[in-house]
Amino acid sequence: MNGSGAEHISPPASDPFDLGVTDIEFVIDRPPNAAWGIRDFVNSRSNLIALALSGRAHYQIAGTAYAIRERSLIFMPAGTEHTASSDPRAPWHFVSVAFDTHSRSHDTAELLHRLPTVTTSLPPEFPVVFRDMYAAWLAKEPGYLIQIRGLVSRILFHLVREHSLPALLQPHAQRIAAITRLLVENYAQTYSVDELAQRAGLSPSHFRLVFKRVTGVTVTAYQQGVKVAKATEFLVSGEYNVTQTAHLTGFSDVYYFSRTFKRITGVNPSSLYRR
C-alpha cells in the first residue's frame, strides 16, 4: 500500500472456481418418510445440496441412477432434472439447502456441472455442518445468512477438491504443473501454445486437452489470469501507472490490457492506481 492510504485490493485469482454463495432459498430437515418422493423436478433458480443423515433413497439424476446411502452427499446445479423416492424399508433422513452463486467468470456455471453428483468420501464432521446450517435457518439470528453461506462454501470446497484431485493424478499432470509454475514466474512473457506444448513434451492438441483438464481453464485464460493478478499488485502499490503496468506484465497494447483487465476483474485498471 502506498502512503496515500489507498485501500488494499487483493489480486484477482486465477482459480476457475472463484465464486461466492449468494441467495439462500431454503434449508430443510426432512425426517424419515417412506412415502416421500418427487418426480421430474427441476429447481431452475437454485443449486441443491443434500446430505443423507440416515436411511436410503433412490435417485435418477440427468438420466443416471444413484443409490443413496447414509453419508451420501448429492449436488445438483440449477436446472438439473431429477426423480427420487425414499427406500420404503429404510426411508432416508436428509438435510438439503438451495442456494445461488455469483462469479465474474462465465465458465464457472459450466464447471459446476462437472462437480461430482454424488459423493460418499466426506469429512466426519459434515453431518454436524448440515445440522448447524438447519439450526441457523430456524433461529434466524443476526448474521445467520453469513453463517449459512460460509457452511455452503465449505461444502462446495470439498466438492471442488473431489473434482480436482482426480485431475491432478492424471497422466502428464506434473508436466502441466511445471508449465503453470513457468507462467507464474515469468508473468511478463507471453507464451504460445506450441511453445508450451514443446516444453511439456506433448503435441499442441494433446497439451490443450490435458492443460484444461488439470487446471479447469484454457492456456490463454490461465496466462491472462496470472498477468492480471500481477498487474493488480503493481497498480495498488501506487508505484506504476496503467501504461507502465501493462508493459511490466507483457502487454504491448495498453488498450488491450485495459480491456482484458476489466473483463477479468470487472473494474478498470485506472480505478486501482493511486498516486
pLDDT value at position 253? Answer: 93
User: Average pLDDT in the 63-91 region?
Assistant: 92
Q: Answer yes or no: is pLDDT of 6 > 60.
A: no
Q: Answer yes or no: is pLDDT of 250 > 60.
A: yes
- Whether residue 211 sits in one domain with residue 108: no
Q: Answer yes or no: is pLDDT of 99 > 90.
A: yes
- Whether residue 134 sits in one domain with residue 52: yes
13, part of any domain:
no
2, part of any domain:
no
CA 172 to chain centre: 23
- Whether residue 55 sits in one domain with residue 143: yes
In angstroms, rounded to a whole number, what is the distance separating the alpha carbons of residues 100 and 51? 18
**Residue 239 dihedral angles phi and psi, to the nearest 5°:** -90, -15
- Whether residue 151 sits in one domain with residue 203: no
In the numeric block, the cell 507464451 is attached to 191
- Whether residue 202 sits in one domain with residue 84: no
Please tell me the pTM assigned to this model.
Answer: 0.59
- Whether residue 111 sits in one domain with residue 31: yes
Buried b (16+ CB within 10 A) or exposed e, 35-73: ebeeeeeebeebbbbbbbbebbbebebeeeebebbbbbb
Kindly report which listed range (41-45, 65-69, 72-76, 253-257) carries the lowest average pLDDT score. Answer: 41-45
Domain boundary among 165, 199, 227: 165
Range of the domain at 146: 20-165
188: domain CATH number is 1.10.10.60
Total structural domains in the chain? 2
Q: Answer yes or no: is pLDDT of 230 > 50.
A: yes
Are 241 and 6 a contacting pair, CB within 8 Å? no
Q: Which residue has the higher pLDDT, 144 or 123?
A: 144
- Whether residue 29 sits in one domain with residue 129: yes
User: Average pLDDT in the 6-17 region?
Assistant: 50
Domain boundary among 165, 184, 212: 165
- Whether residue 196 sits in one domain with residue 154: no
Strands 81-86 and 93-102: unpaired
Domain boundary among 132, 165, 198: 165
Are 174 and 199 a contacting pair, CB within 8 Å? no
66, part of any domain:
yes
Q: Answer yes or no: is pLDDT of 8 > 50.
A: no
State the chain's mean pLDDT as an integer: 86
Torsion of CA 13, 213, 179, 196, to 10 degrees: -120
pLDDT value at position 248? Answer: 95
- Whether residue 151 sits in one domain with residue 68: yes
12, part of any domain:
no
